[in-house]
């Protein structure tokens, strides 16, 4: 089931929208869905950074690279 959401725009904006051959319902629906997805991902960033910090390899990467190259 879908709900209806309405909002107001200026007369000028409405006139400009009418001049364009776009399905505004679909355009706005896609924009809102993308913004929601972006917002959800943005809220996850602190957890992602915390997990990355927790699993980060501690040490000197230079020595690991040299060791890997020497073994080849």
- Which mean pLDDT values do the consecutive 10-residue runs of the chain (72 residues) have? 92 97 96 97 91 78 84 80
Within a domain: 57? yes
Specify the pLDDT at position 10: 98
Residue 48: which domain range? Answer: 11-71
> Model-level pTM?
0.62
Within a domain: 32? yes
Within a domain: 4? no
Within a domain: 5? no
Question: How many domains in the chain?
Answer: 1
Within a domain: 16? yes
Cα 25 to Cα 9, 22, 29, 34, 37, distances in angstroms? 14, 9, 6, 14, 18
Contact, 23 vs 15, CB < 8 A? no
Within a domain: 3? no
Helix or strand run (H / E) with residue 68: helix 61-71
Within a domain: 52? yes
């Amino acid at each position: 089931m879908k709900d209806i959401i309405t909002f107001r725009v200026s007369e000028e904006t409405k006139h400009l929208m009418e001049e364009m051959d776009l399905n505004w319902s679909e355009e706005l629906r896609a924009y809102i869905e993308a913004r929601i997805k972006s917002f959800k991902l943005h809220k996850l960033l602190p957890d992602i950074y915390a997990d990355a910090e927790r699993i980060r390899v501690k040490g000197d990467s230079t020595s690991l690279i040299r060791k890997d190259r020497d073994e080849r």
